[in-house]
Structure 1
Amino acid sequence: MQNIRAASEITFGTNLNEQAIHVIEFLKTVNDIPELNKSSTLKRAVYRYEKYWLPLAAEYPNEFLAPPLDVEWAWHCHMLNPNAYERDCREIVGSTVKHTMLGARRFYKEQRKSQRYWLEKIGKYQEPFTIDYREPFDTVAIDTYHSKITYDILAASKRQMDLYYQVSLPHYKNRKYLNTSHLRYKQFLYAKAKLPNAFLEPSYDIDLFWHAHQLNPVIYKEDVTRIVGYFLNHGASIDHRTEEDRLNADKQSRDTWLSLYNETMPIFGAMYRGSQPAGLLYKTEKTEYCQSFMQRTKLVFDNVTISMPRIRRAVTLSLWSLADKTRAEHVFSLEYQTISRLQNTTMKWKNVGQYVFETSTDCKMLIMLEAPVGLGLKTVMASNVVNLLPWLENSRNLGNDRHIDVPVSLGHNIRLDLTISIKQLGFDQAMLTLEPGKYRPSSIPRHHKQFLGPIGLQQYPRGSDNYCEVASHRLRNHLGNDVFHVRSIHSRPLMMSVIQVFYQNKMSAIAHIIGSDHLPLPSQVDKDEITLNPLQGERAILLKNNGGDWVL
Structure 2
Amino acid sequence: MDKEKDEELEWLEAQKIETSVDLFAAAKKQLQFLETVDRNRGLYDGPALERAIYRYNACWLPLLAKSVSEGPLVPPLDCEWIWHCHRLNPVRYKSDCEQFYGKVLDNSGVVSSVNGNCKSKTEDLWKRLYPEEPYELNFDKVDSEDVSEKSSNLEKCTKYDLVSAVKRQSPFYYQVSRSHVNNDIFIQEAVARYKGFLYLIKKNRERSLNRFNVPTYDVDLIWHTHQLHPVSYCTDLEKLIGKVLEHDDTDSDRGKGKKLDTGFSKTTAQWEDTFGTRYWKAGAMYRGKTPAPVTTSPYASNVLAQKITENEDSQKLIQLPELEVVEVLLEVIGIRNLPEGHKGKLSVVFTKTQPDSLFNVERRLTILSEVGEKQVASFQCEPTGELCFQLISSSPSKIPVSREPKNFGFASLSLKEFLFPVVTQLSVEKWLELTPSKGKTDPKPISLRVAVSFTPPNRCPYILHMVQPRPSCKGSCFFPIIGKSRHAKSSTQIVDETQTEVIRLQMSSDGAAQKQVIRVVNSGETRVLAEYNGSSWSLLDLEWSLKQVNADNPLYELLGTRLVKIFSGRKLDYEPKHCANNRNDQDFMTLVEFSKEHPYGKAVGLLDLRFGSIEAKENWMVLPGIVSAFILNNVVKKGGFDGFNATTKVAQQESLKTNGLKAESKQIKLVATVENKVKANTVNMETAAAIIAPEKGSGCGGGCSGECGNMVKATANASGCGSGCSGECGDMVKATANASGCGSGCSGECGDMIRAPNASGCGSSCSGECGDMVKAATKASGCGGGGCSGECGDMVNAKKASGCGGGCSGECGDAVETVGVA
Indicate the TM-score class for this superposition, using the shorter chain for normalisation.
0.5 to 0.7
Choose from 23, 38, 47 the match for 2:45: 38
2: CA distance, partners of 1:128 / 1:390? 50
1:149 match: 158
Q: 1:280 Cα shift?
A: 7.8
Residues 448 and 216 of structure 1, relative CA distance in 2, 3 Å threshold: farther
DSSP-derived class of the 1:361 partner: strand
Residues 76 and 390 of structure 1, relative CA distance in 2, 3 Å threshold: closer
The reply to whether residue 239 of structure 1 matches residue 252 of structure 2 is yes
2: CA distance, partners of 1:454 / 1:251? 24
Residues 361 and 189 of structure 1, relative CA distance in 2, 3 Å threshold: same
Aligned 8 A contact 1:30 1:36 in 2: yes
DSSP-derived class of the 2:141 partner: coil
The reply to whether residue 364 of structure 1 matches residue 511 of structure 2 is yes
Choose from 616, 619, 628 the match for 1:429: 628
1:132 match: 138
Residues 4 and 134 of structure 1, relative CA distance in 2, 3 Å threshold: same
Matches within 5 A, 1:349-498: 360-364=507-511, 429-431=628-630, 432=633, 435=661, 444=700, 448=704, 450-452=706-708, 467-468=740-741, 471=751, 493=780
2: CA distance, partners of 1:191 / 1:397? 56
Q: 1:192 Cα shift?
A: 1.1
DSSP-derived class of the 1:140 partner: coil
Letter in 2 for 1:207: D
Q: Deviations over 1:257-297 (max 9, x none)?
A: 123222222122211100111338999xxxxxxxxxxxxxx
Q: Deviations over 1:143-168 (max 9, x none)?
A: 34226313222222222222111111
TM normalised by structure 1 equals 0.56
Q: Deviations over 1:333-375 (max 9, x none)?
A: xxxxxxxxxxxxxxxxxxxxxxxxxx94234289xxxxxxxxx
Q: 1:178 Cα shift?
A: 1.1
2:79 match: 71
Letter in 1 for 2:15: S
Q: Deviations over 1:220-275 (max 9, x none)?
A: 11111112221111135331475321432222111221232222221222111001
Q: 1:2 Cα shift?
A: 1.5
2:395 match: none
Residues 263 and 23 of structure 1, relative CA distance in 2, 3 Å threshold: same
The reply to whether residue 160 of structure 1 matches residue 169 of structure 2 is yes
Q: 1:35 Cα shift?
A: 1.4
Q: Deviations over 1:103-134 (max 9, x none)?
A: 878733243321121112222xx111112122
Q: Deviations over 1:489-523 (max 9, x none)?
A: 99995699xxxxxxxxxxxxxxx99999xxxxxxx
Q: 1:140 Cα shift?
A: 2.8
1:21 match: 28
The reply to whether residue 225 of structure 1 matches residue 234 of structure 2 is no
Aligned 8 A contact 1:199 1:256 in 2: no
1: CA distance, partners of 2:772 / 2:58? 54
Residues 443 and 513 of structure 1, relative CA distance in 2, 3 Å threshold: closer
2: CA distance, partners of 1:28 / 1:280? 18
Residues 198 and 53 of structure 1, relative CA distance in 2, 3 Å threshold: same
Letter in 2 for 1:237: T
DSSP-derived class of the 1:134 partner: helix
Letter in 1 for 2:141: E
2: CA distance, partners of 1:225 / 1:194? 14
Choose from 213, 229, 254 the match for 1:216: 229
Letter in 1 for 2:98: R
2:280 match: 266
2: CA distance, partners of 1:276 / 1:239? 13
2: CA distance, partners of 1:199 / 1:174? 29
Alignment size in residue pairs: 361
1: CA distance, partners of 2:128 / 2:233? 31
Aligned 8 A contact 1:468 1:491 in 2: no
DSSP-derived class of the 1:99 partner: coil
Residues 157 and 106 of structure 1, relative CA distance in 2, 3 Å threshold: closer
Residues 110 and 454 of structure 1, relative CA distance in 2, 3 Å threshold: farther
Letter in 2 for 1:224: L
Aligned 8 A contact 2:87 2:93 in 1: yes
DSSP-derived class of the 2:151 partner: coil
Matches within 5 A, 1:294-373: 360-364=507-511
Q: 1:100 Cα shift?
A: 5.8
DSSP-derived class of the 1:184 partner: helix
Residues 396 and 6 of structure 1, relative CA distance in 2, 3 Å threshold: closer
1:176 match: 185
Q: 1:169 Cα shift?
A: 1.1
The reply to whether residue 52 of structure 1 matches residue 59 of structure 2 is yes
1: CA distance, partners of 2:111 / 2:27? 11
2: CA distance, partners of 1:12 / 1:122? 37
Letter in 2 for 1:40: P
1: CA distance, partners of 2:202 / 2:68? 31
More deviation, 65-74/259-268: 259-268
1:356 match: none
Aligned 8 A contact 2:56 2:82 in 1: yes
Choose from 91, 95, 103 the match for 1:83: 91
Q: Deviations over 1:4-56 (max 9, x none)?
A: 11111112111101111111111111111221212321111111001111010
Letter in 2 for 1:31: D
Letter in 1 for 2:218: D
Aligned 8 A contact 1:22 1:101 in 2: no
More deviation, 13-22/148-157: 148-157
The reply to whether residue 186 of structure 1 matches residue 195 of structure 2 is yes
1: CA distance, partners of 2:290 / 2:251? 17
DSSP-derived class of the 2:222 partner: helix
DSSP-derived class of the 2:218 partner: helix
More deviation, 143-152/159-168: 143-152
Aligned 8 A contact 1:445 1:451 in 2: no
The reply to whether residue 95 of structure 1 matches residue 87 of structure 2 is no
2: CA distance, partners of 1:43 / 1:488? 52
Q: Deviations over 1:360-391 (max 9, x none)?
A: 4234289xxxxxxxxxxxxxxxxxxxxxx999
Aligned 8 A contact 1:78 1:153 in 2: yes
The structure whose residues are more often strand, as a share, is 1
Q: Deviations over 1:281-321 (max 9, x none)?
A: 999xxxxxxxxxxxxxxxxxxxxxxxxxxxxxxxxxxxxxx
2: CA distance, partners of 1:215 / 1:199? 21
DSSP-derived class of the 2:211 partner: coil
1:534 match: none
Letter in 1 for 2:60: W
Structure 2 stretches lacking a partner, 5+ long: 1-7, 298-486, 491-505, 514-531, 537-546, 552-623, 638-660, 672-697, 712-717, 724-739, 743-749, 754-770, 784-791, 797-822
DSSP-derived class of the 1:168 partner: coil
Aligned 8 A contact 1:66 1:110 in 2: yes
Choose from 202, 212, 220 the match for 1:199: 212
